[in-house]
Amino acid sequence: MRHITDLLDNEPVVATAGTDMLAAAIEQQGAAVSRAEWRPPVAGSETALAKLAADGRMEEANRTAIARMLAVRPHLVDVGVARDVFTDMTDRTLFHAGPPLEWERASGPMQGAIIGAMLYEGLAADPDDAAVRAARGEIELSPCHHHGAVGPMAGVTSPSMPVAIVEDAAGDGVSYSTLNEGLGKVLRYGAFAPEVIDRLRWMDRVLGPVLGAALRRRGPIDLQSLIAQALQMGDDGHNRNRAVTSLFLREIGAVLIDGTEAPVEQRRSVFEFIDGNDHFMLNLVMAAGKLGSDAAAGVTASSLVTVMARNGTDFGVRLSGTGDRWFTAPAPPVDGLYLGGYTEEDASPDIGDSTITETVGLGGFAMAAAPAIVGFVGGTASNAIQRTLAMYEITMAEHPAYQIPPLEFRGTPVGIDAARVVRTGVRPQINTGVAGKVPGTGMVGAGLVEAPMECFTDAINALADSL
Amino acid sequence: MVSRVEIHPGRYHDSVRLMQASKALQDVPGVTDALVAMATELNLSLLADMGFDMEATTSAGPNDLLLAVRADNDDTIATAHRVLDDALTHRAAADSGLTVPQPRTVGTAADVNGANIVLLSVPGEHAFVEAMEALEGGRHVMIFSDNVPVSQEVILKQRGVERGLLVMGPDCGTAIVNGLGLGFANAVHPGPVGIVGASGTGIQQVCSLLDDAGVGVRHALGTGSHDLSEEVGAIATLQALAALDADPAVEVIALISKPPAASVAARVRAAAAGCSKPVVVIFMGESTLEDGAAEVLALMDKQQTALSWPTDQDDHRRGTVRGLFSGGTLRDEARFVAMPVLGPIGTKELDSITRRNSDHTFIDYGDDEYTKGRAHPMIDQTVRIDRLEEVAVDADVGVILMDVVLGYGANADPAAELVPAITKAVASGAAVVVSLCGTQRDPQDRDRQAKTLQAAGASVWLSNAAAARQAARLATGG
């Protein structure tokens, strides 16, 4: 009875949902009311939501899952080679972004990246040969996410590629990502021209070994600390990584100079490569995110979104409480701004594992921190702030390390709750790059996309069925 | 066709702004291709791909601004320059401050002001999820919504008990917590009485009678119309009773319900008897709200006021009594009081087409079948006024009995709306008797409402039972 006594002893403070008349009647008495702008839940989710509410385990499960996500301490420790790092990777295995996919259903940029990776690995003589072999099933495709890894855009990871290794300093998790190739005509955007393949070869010959040696010499780099600083320097961690890349260079600079046995031209070229690529750190921010995502997986009854990822054909979502299942819907088009003469006609549907950043409170969820890229959301800083503020409604926590200066250093909204997504109809906001739809084109623009509601409705129904 | 390639050394803009500028240029009528970008290697190769002359760019670098336009004539190029300047210098108007998005769930809304009570009037099928969220957040809930499945009501109320939280409703029309009215509630003085009620208008009637006699109400806790059913088992009623018993500022408790399930009635009576304070149990059909209020007043050494605004209406035409109610409990009380005098009283329209009734009929227009697609008759009187006008010219009807419920949430000036139809009824020879439920401090100004109704020819009674007695007396010529 203690709580009911509290009700009777204290001044009543009221929040309302429903007819405004009742809220107005309270205000007529001189009391303040907080109103919810309530709308019915997404059609097809009502029964599942009621079952989850009645079951009662979801709240506690979510507290457990989000705590695990936030407890990881991602440290960049080394750079290895994919075939060594992934024990289940054969010479003919290619990892890719998003949910599982077959060659036939793959989008232009995904097919282009697969072709490029086959050329790079010597699995095909030319692009046509690669397409034929891929169609014949000579290549084994598998999502990065099934291997503790993530890759931006096409996310194609092949056995010879250098792979960054991120370990949890507070636990035993490990996550991986490829190294970022830069902008323009690059494999992850589906380009496979000779210059693309040459750059990949340089990356496995020079970039990977030099960086790995420097890291081993220096010791682990605390990625969360770098990302937290970068948010206060105008990064969102998805579409803007200029600050975090600069911070990384300061961390690694000294050991690049004298910490490796590599010839000085190689050390210099590594420094210049990182310096010349504002998105160098994107892949590492993603790997840091994957560590939290994996840590939060597998909590029974939890509606926490652990994965949002796209393969250019499907948009896929996984929940902590529904195990390894993917809930997919067609990948939506991106509302974007385009480079040069490209238009939305040239754009491929949404692609990439980089939405891992949004699942851990970065990217679209930290848009308010990145005024330099507000052009993507209509051009005003207040618009960017609105977008981030809207995400607090569908998330479970405010990030303890990632803070947003214009929001008085409020933590970023983190831990997407699929139940709240379907209850409110508010969809996760994603910042993203746009790939050209014709294989080999590369990047054509960047912009915004909202996760398809269908994924969340299906996921919530499956979660309810699992109890 | 003209094309132009220009390099502006050292003029830096971020890539997003430049992409916006490119788009603005591409939208200029007559422009076929345009690129505005920093002259990086990537952008220079894009320029080459677009088929522009690269001659001007030979010494350009990433810190130089590149402008390339292909258009139908020189005038268009000039326009493009103006558009570019606008695009690169335009600044959005400064925002005065942050507009925080409106909360979309009650959980978020409650976080905004630290609410300890969540009041829900969302459609009944959706109330459960919101109410469970409120309970998980440690907040008490009042569910105004009806049509919540009873199985969900049981789960909610059990969860409430586990968490020490009160679930008022579903179908809870009225509550007063520490003087704040929730739903339909009257402006009462603070005082020593605590009310537990499964009936909204029952609570309002008792509050009004007590308030007029100078006895205030500390809390009136609604429990919802199904709380004393077999399935729910009076969970909220028993919780509220215990809480009021534990509240040192409460001296007397009144417990109001429609007729409960027999087993539940026994349990509630036992709990009432076990309280440390006197509990006046008012089960409709066994006693009246008026008697209950009198009993409470007697415990406080006070007397009922029997307030009325009478009219001489003895020479009305003979006929049956037609009751047009907005409160179900008020209808039940009136029927209970009038039945011994009048004999059987129907509660339904015998013929929904002609709406003719051979006998005495008391109808609750707040019932679901009359409120589909419109607001409750305490707010929207249209249906009742329509019926009143029909009954006024029905020669079979001699007496019209109706309630008017005041308070927060109710119609702002019900008397003014009713006057034309009442005037017509009285002019045609019928007697109109009004039970006026409200307090002096209600926002509608109770005494002004009473006098307006009285001036139209109605007799007006603060006690609903008294109004029913008057109607019965007039009908039997007693």
Please report, for the domain that includes residue A301, its CATH number.
Answer: 3.90.1700.10
Same domain for A163 and A189? yes
CA of residue A117 relative to chain centroid, distance: 22
CA atoms within 13 A on the CB side of A369: 33
Same domain for A262 and A307? no
| Structural domain total, chain A | 3
Cβ-Cβ contacts under 8 Å between A and B: the total is 243
Q: Do the Cβ atoms of B10 and B63 come closer than 8 Å?
A: yes
Last residue of a domain, one of B89, B120, B154: B89
Q: Is residue B99 part of a domain?
A: no
Same domain for A106 and A192? yes
Q: What is the mean pLDDT of residues B377-399?
A: 90
B240-279 residues touching A, CB cutoff 8 A: 240, 242-244, 246-247
Contacts of A167 (CB under 8 A, 6+ apart): A74, A75, A77, A173, A174, A220, A291
The full DSSP string for B438-470 is: --TTSTT-HHHHHHHHHHTT-EEESSHHHHHHH
Residue A127 CB coordination number (10 Å)? 18
Q: Which two tokens stand for residue B375?
A: 């607001």
Q: What is the mean pLDDT of residues B108-123?
A: 94
Q: Please tell me the distance from the alpha carbon of residue B190 to that of residue B193, in angstroms, as a whole number.
A: 9
pLDDT in tens, B313-345: 888 888 899 999 999 999 999 999 999 999 999
pLDDT value for A442: 78
Q: Do the Cβ atoms of B187 and B441 come closer than 8 Å?
A: yes
Same domain for A320 and A458? yes
Q: How far is B216 from chain A (nearest CA, A)?
A: 16
The residue of chain B with its CA nearest to that of A28 is B408
Find the DSSP H helices in B166-248: 200-212, 235-246
A49–B47 C-beta distance less than 8 A:
no
The residue of chain A with its CA nearest to that of B410 is A25
pLDDT in tens, B274-302: 999 999 999 998 999 999 999 999 999 99
Q: Which two tokens stand for residue A417?
A: 């709750």
Tokens 């139908």, residue located: B72
B410-429 residues touching A, CB cutoff 8 A: none
pLDDT value for B96: 41
Task: Sheet containing A149-150: give its strands across.
Answer: A149-150, A174-178, A162-168, A74-81, A221-222
Same domain for B279 and B350? no
B19–A338 C-beta distance less than 8 A:
yes
Give the closest of B23, B126, B182 to A26, CB-based: B182
pLDDT in tens, B46-76: 889 889 998 888 888 776 789 999 999 999 9
Q: What is the mean pLDDT of residues B437-452?
A: 97
Q: How far is B113 from chain A (nearest CA, A)?
A: 6
Q: Is residue B100 part of a domain?
A: no
Q: Is residue B101 part of a domain?
A: no
Residues of B in contact with A444 (CB under 8 A): none
pLDDT value for B350: 64
Same domain for B337 and B292? no
Q: Do the Cβ atoms of B221 and B173 come closer than 8 Å?
A: no
pLDDT value for B19: 79
B239–A4 C-beta distance less than 8 A:
yes
Look at residue B22 and tell me whether its pLDDT is greater than 90: no
Q: Is residue A7 part of a domain?
A: yes
Q: State the residue range of the domain holding B242.
A: 106-299
| Structural domain total, chain B | 3
Q: Is residue B166 part of a domain?
A: yes
pLDDT value for B258: 85
B101–A46 C-beta distance less than 8 A:
no
Task: Sheet containing B2-8: give its strands across.
Answer: B2-8, B65-71, B31-38
Ranges of chain A with pLDDT below 50:
1
Collapsing DSSP to helix, strand or coil, A176 comes out as: strand
B243–A4 C-beta distance less than 8 A:
yes
Phi, psi of B181 (to 5 degrees): -80, 135
Q: Containing H/E element for B363? A: strand B361-364
Same domain for B128 and B233? yes
Give the closest of B50, B101, B115 to A340, CB-based: B50
Same domain for A138 and A175? yes
Same domain for A184 and A209? yes
Q: Please tell me the distance from the alpha carbon of residue A182 to that of residue B238, in angstroms, as a whole number.
A: 69
Residue B96 CB coordination number (10 Å)? 7
Q: Is residue A51 part of a domain?
A: no
Q: Which two tokens stand for residue B177?
A: 């917590």
Collapsing DSSP to helix, strand or coil, B195 comes out as: strand
Give the burial class of B101: count Cβ atoms within 10 A of its Cβ; 0-12 exposed, 13-18 middle, 19 or more buried: middle
Q: Which two tokens stand for residue A388?
A: 């981030």
Same domain for A252 and A301? no
Q: Containing H/E element for B177? A: strand B174-177
pLDDT value for B92: 42
Residues of A in contact with B246 (CB under 8 A): 1, 5
B371 vs A311, higher pLDDT: A311
Look at residue B97 and tell me whether its pLDDT is greater than 60: no
Q: Is residue B95 part of a domain?
A: no
pLDDT value for B95: 42
The residue of chain B with its CA nearest to that of A60 is B136
Cis amide prior to B170 (ω within 30 degrees): yes
Tokens 């292909």, residue located: B70
Same domain for A108 and A28? no
Helices and strands (H, E) in chain A, number of each type: 17, 18
Q: Please tell me the distance from the alpha carbon of residue A154 to that of residue A440, in angstroms, as a whole number.
A: 12
B189-218 residues touching A, CB cutoff 8 A: 218
Q: Is residue A52 part of a domain?
A: no
For B61-65, B118-122, B154-158, B178-182, which range has the lowest pLDDT when averaged over its residues?
Answer: B61-65
Confidence of residue B358 (pLDDT cuts 50, 70, 90): low
Q: Is residue A318 part of a domain?
A: yes
Last residue of a domain, one of B89, B116, B137: B89
Residue B312 CB coordination number (10 Å)? 7
Last residue of a domain, one of A255, A285, A315: A285
Last residue of a domain, one of A285, A313, A340: A285
Q: What percent of chain B has pLDDT over 90?
A: 70
Query: CA A419, A148, A259 angle in degrees (round to 5)?
Result: 130
B35–A18 C-beta distance less than 8 A:
no
B108–A392 C-beta distance less than 8 A:
yes
Q: Do the Cβ atoms of A76 and A220 come closer than 8 Å?
A: yes
Q: What percent of chain B has pLDDT over 70?
A: 94
Last residue of a domain, one of B254, B282, B299: B299
Confidence of residue B478 (pLDDT cuts 50, 70, 90): low
Same domain for B412 and B362? yes
Last residue of a domain, one of A285, A307, A342: A285
Inter-helix orientation angle B106-113/B124-136, to 10°: 40
Q: State the residue range of the domain holding A311.
A: 62-68+296-465
Same domain for B429 and B352? yes
Closest CA to A245 of A272, A265, A266, A209: A272
Q: Is residue B190 part of a domain?
A: yes
Confidence of residue B98 (pLDDT cuts 50, 70, 90): low
